[in-house]
């Protein structure tokens, strides 16, 4: 992967990327070189093969989905880990306007109160200049811990080096360390979220997430998947997600991925996304599926429905499991599945990682993961309007671990 850090442009350009991705409901900060425009093209799988190949692809996908539908999460850590006293933790969120940012950020603040810590919730309002300002303010005000929510290390390298020199705990929610996006760089996330032996890093988890998404589409299309992917080369999270997706899709001999080059700066609005999809379907009538994100607020779902009769042929899977995604699945409105992440659990896990670090203890496997939810396991959907939890009692587990009560 190309260096994300080297591709970070001027403040105005970066703000444009963040604002565009905020509209998709997956607000992330890291950027790679902008994608070039051009026609869509197949990039994974040959699209040939026999019916026997298609059946084999479905069988392999269904085997993977047994695990993914059950859920890749395990359990939050329950062993006693008493709260470290007198901590001052700042939660720096890229933009509170994005649900996938605000929900875990607020949950981390909630966990901080249980730990008995001083907690400051800082909203950078989508401005990269505020990322550095927020961390600098935190350090100046005696922070002992930092939670970066959707702010990659590459944006705040100098500030995190300062934090490291002062032994300040740094953990992340939906963010990559410098050595993730630029191999060979110094790691600056001292209290990195741990997946134990399940995944070596957040990067590996993201690629598995993409792989499970591909497996669902292969199965849903009977092994003859021709998914449309808005191919992005600017956003680190999406690069990893797409990598896992396309590598898994390449194992299907009867499938072809139709990549649609997507620049979030010039084509980040709902209208632009709709036009990209419409053009791709006209050029590639074999398209029968799609992945990435289908929240109501993004415009992605409306773009799918805007395809008219074609929308009825589409098998679409979303990427976060926010409440509006479940409503779309229930109502059969252009979405059939989602990979649900426990947004609030992630915030509590981040605070537990800081607690371990400041006490000089090894990071604990936070048990985090995702679950594919569709019409085969509707009982796992949360009630309408409520958040997917992943574990019904994670609050109680962490609270008892920290307080003994």
pLDDT, mean of residues 227-245? 87
Please say if the pLDDT value at position 353 is more than 80.
yes
Mean pLDDT of the chain: 88
pLDDT of residue 297: 66
What pTM was computed for the model?
0.89
Q: Would you tell me which CATH number, out of the four given (3.30.1600.10, 3.40.50.2300, 1.10.357.10, 1.10.3720.10), belongs to the domain 88-197+342-369?
A: 3.40.50.2300
Q: How far apart are CA 191 and CA 366, in angstroms?
A: 12
Instruction: For 80-117, write each residue's pLDDT tens digit.
Output: 999 999 999 999 999 999 888 999 999 999 999 999 99
> Hey, CA dihedral for 110, 111, 114, 115, is it positive or negative?
negative
Q: How far apart are CA 321 and CA 213, in angstroms?
A: 13
pLDDT band of 44, cuts 50, 70, 90: low
Which residues make up the CATH 3.40.50.2300 domain(s) of the chain?
5-71+203-340, 88-197+342-369
pLDDT, mean of residues 152-175? 96
Beta bridge partners of 228: 258, 290
pLDDT, mean of residues 225-235? 89
Instruction: For 299-328, write each residue's pLDDT tens digit.
Output: 888 899 999 999 999 999 998 888 989 999
Could you give the count of Cα atoms lying within 13 Å of 323 in the half-sphere of its Cβ?
A: 8
pLDDT of residue 1: 26
Whose CA is closest to 234, among 29, 391, 96?
Answer: 29
Q: What is the CATH number of domain 5-71+203-340?
A: 3.40.50.2300
């Amino acid at each position: 992967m190309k260096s994300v850090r080297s591709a970070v442009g001027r403040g105005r350009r970066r703000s444009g990327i963040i604002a565009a991705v905020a509209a998709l409901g997956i607000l992330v900060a890291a950027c790679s070189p902008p994608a070039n425009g051009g026609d869509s093209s197949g990039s994974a799988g040959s699209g040939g093969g026999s019916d026997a190949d298609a059946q084999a692809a479905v069988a392999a996908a269904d085997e993977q989905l047994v695990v993914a539908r059950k859920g890749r999460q395990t359990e939050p850590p329950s062993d006693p880990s008493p709260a470290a006293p007198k901590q001052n933790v700042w939660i720096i969120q890229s933009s509170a306007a994005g649900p996938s940012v605000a929900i875990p950020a607020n949950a981390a603040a909630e966990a901080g109160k249980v730990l008995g810590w001083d907690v400051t919730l800082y909203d950078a309002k989508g401005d990269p200049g505020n990322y550095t300002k927020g961390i600098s303010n935190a350090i100046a005000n005696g922070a002992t811990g930092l939670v970066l929510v959707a702010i990659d290390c590459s944006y705040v390298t100098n500030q995190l080096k300062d934090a490291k020199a002062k032994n300040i705990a740094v953990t992340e929610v939906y963010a990559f360390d410098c050595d993730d996006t630029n191999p060979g760089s110094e790691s600056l996330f001292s209290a990195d979220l741990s997946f134990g032996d399940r995944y070596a890093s957040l990067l590996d988890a993201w690629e598995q997430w993409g792989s499970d998404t591909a497996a669902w589409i292969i199965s849903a299309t009977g092994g003859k998947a021709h998914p449309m992917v808005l191919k992005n080369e600017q956003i680190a999270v999406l690069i990893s997600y797409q990598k896992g997706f396309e590598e898994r899709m390449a194992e299907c001999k009867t499938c072809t991925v139709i990549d649609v080059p997507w620049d979030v700066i010039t084509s980040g609005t709902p209208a632009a996304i709709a036009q990209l999809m419409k053009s791709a379907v006209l050029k590639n009538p074999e398209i029968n599926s799609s992945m990435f994100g289908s929240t109501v607020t993004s415009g992605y779902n409306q773009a799918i429905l805007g395809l008219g009769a074609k929308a009825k042929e589409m098998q679409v899977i979303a990427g976060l499991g926010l409440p509006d995604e479940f409503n779309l699945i229930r109502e059969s409105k252009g979405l059939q599945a989602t990979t649900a992440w426990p947004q609030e659990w992630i915030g509590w896990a981040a605070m537990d990682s800081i607690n371990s670090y400041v006490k000089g203890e090894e990071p604990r496997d936070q048990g985090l993961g995702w679950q594919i939810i569709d019409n085969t396991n509707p009982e796992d959907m949360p009630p309408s309007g409520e958040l997917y939890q992943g574990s019904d009692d994670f609050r109680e587990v962490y609270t008892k671990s920290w307080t003994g009560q």
